[in-house]
A = this chain, B = another copy of it.
Amino acid sequence: MKAIIPNLQNNSSAPLYLQLYHYMKTAILDGSILPMEKLPSLRGLSQSLDLSLTTIELAYNQLLVEGYIYSKPQSGYFVNKISAGMGSVRKDEGADFQKPVRLPEADPFSDFEKNEYFDVSCFDFVKWKKCINQVLTEYSHLLLREGDSQGEMALRHEISKYVYQSRGVTCTPDQIVIGAGTQQIMGQLCTILIKMGMKHVTVEEPGYLPVRNIFRDRDFAITSVPVGKEGISISRLPANISSAVYVSPSNQFPTGYVMPIGKRYELLGWAMKNDSIIIEDDYDSELRYFGKPIPSLQGLDHNQRVVYLGSFSTTLFPSIKISYMVLPPNMAAIFDPIRGDYTQTCSKTEQLTLAIYMSKGLYQTNIKKLRTLYSQKLQTVLSVLSKWGADFIRPVNSSSGINMLISVRSKKSSARLCQEADELGISTLPVTTFTGAAAESTATLIFNYNQIPIDRIEAALRGLIEKWKHDA
């Protein structure tokens, strides 16, 4: 064995034990110290190198824990046989991670600067901040535990009160499951449906694509059924098999169509007759602009046929990821024994914040404010469109929600129209991405008008009309 004579630097930034460890590792890797060789004893090396026993111990410990050496009781330390892949050891593996990694030159906060419209009047972050600070001050010890896999009880309690008052949904907090977004919730729902023996789902066409991705990932057979002015075509739903149908009856996405009461009873009848389940996505029905909300299917159902889905993204702020489902009692019973299999994805801090926000009545106040604001925006959009774009832009549906469908007569493709809107900071989405239909001479787009501050809508839209008109 080569003598262990490391060239240690007392004035180096690396501690002595690390220098020694490094020296010995290199010696082992380059064969200067051979496998199975016995190393000097701790005390022996401490004396020969004039280093403290602790320094030697730390270096040996590190070599030990990384597997370069091993210890035999009563015998001492020996070099390990390290066979595979030794030729490919990089010089920079090990302790020297100080070399800066190459990173993109751009400022990582640069996406903070995008040329987009933001309507900061949509949400009062000052009140939200007060609630979040209350959680971080008064309840911070609770954050030292993982969240409830089903969602925080305090929030489920508030939700059960709220959905009853606003949507006629009857449930206890035990029937509610909270998750970070509809996709997440649907993943858990898939597990329950599979346990019930269901592997077939019907979705709306056009409809909400992210939900389909989850069904696809879980190997469900998926049927698409067209949506008409009264919602999904019930006569085309599968009969004689137990299946699930995913619908958004109160504000169909993206058409905005509303399923009338008679159709709702018909749909419930279909579910009863075929031992099937209706998944009712009620995602922003609170933002209807006239009359009171239409009763939910869940509230009409007496036979445990409806799973109700709700979300806070459109009524608080878009980046908050808090969604929930209300399971019928029999499905909640199926979920109960497996709930521990899934960790909670939704921020506990934000769940507790929302529970406080709702219990103070701030959520309800915000919804009222949003309904007024968005209906004013809608009126503005409609009047600007009819004034400046009536000849080639037609609103398709505009009774509720935070966006509207528009039909644009143009030689340009949907993708091109959306790109041109994007260049002006205006958010649109081609409906073809939802239906998969080919582009025609008339494009149907989802127009997210709610992102534009009300006093800038006219100028923004006129700019868009001018751009789209060109070559239209």
Q: Does A372 contact B (CB under 8 A)?
A: no
Q: Does A183 contact B (CB under 8 A)?
A: yes
Evaluate whether A262 and B350 lie within 8 angstroms (CB atoms) in the complex, with A102-B172, A136-B129, A144-B120 already known: no
Contact A180 B84 (CB under 8 A): no
Residues of B within 8 A of A264 (CB): 67
A146 to B314 alpha-carbon distance, docked (Å): 11
A317 to B147 alpha-carbon distance, docked (Å): 11
Interface hit among A2-10, A213-221, A416-424 = A213-221
Residues of B within 8 A of A102 (CB): 172
Residues of B within 8 A of A141 (CB): 118, 120
| 30 pairs, A vs B, C-beta closer than 8 Å | A62-B292, A66-B294, A68-B260, A81-B262, A82-B262, A85-B266, A90-B302, A93-B168, A97-B299, A101-B161, A103-B172, A108-B157, A111-B148, A120-B140, A120-B141, A123-B143, A125-B137, A132-B136, A143-B317, A143-B319, A144-B451, A146-B313, A146-B319, A180-B346, A181-B345, A320-B347, A320-B349, A321-B344, A346-B347, A347-B349
A370 to chain B, nearest CB (A): 13
Size of the chain A interface, CB-CB below 8 angstroms: 127
Residues of B within 8 A of A122 (CB): 144
Contact B143 A83 (CB under 8 A): no
A319 to chain B, nearest CB (A): 4
Copies of the polypeptide in the assembly: 2
- How would residues 51 to 95 of chain A score, 1 for a CB under 8 Å from any chain B CB and 0 otherwise? 000000010011001111000000000001111111011101111
A291 to B183 alpha-carbon distance, docked (Å): 43
Q: Does A164 contact B (CB under 8 A)?
A: yes
Q: Which of B97, B170, B341 contacts A213 (CB 8 A)?
A: B341
A207 to B141 alpha-carbon distance, docked (Å): 29
A187 to B266 alpha-carbon distance, docked (Å): 37
Complex interface residues of chain A between 127 and 147 (CB less than 8 A to chain B): 128-129, 132-133, 136-137, 139-147
Q: Which of B83, B128, B219, B321 contacts A265 (CB 8 A)?
A: B83
Q: Does A410 contact B (CB under 8 A)?
A: no
Q: Does A441 contact B (CB under 8 A)?
A: no
Q: Does A337 contact B (CB under 8 A)?
A: no
Q: Does A371 contact B (CB under 8 A)?
A: no
A111 to B118 alpha-carbon distance, docked (Å): 38
Nearest B residue to A171 via CB reads B101
Contact B58 A291 (CB under 8 A): yes
Contact B104 A172 (CB under 8 A): yes
A101 to chain B, nearest CB (A): 4
Evaluate whether A93 and B143 lie within 8 angstroms (CB atoms) in the complex, with A66-B261, A346-B180 already known: no
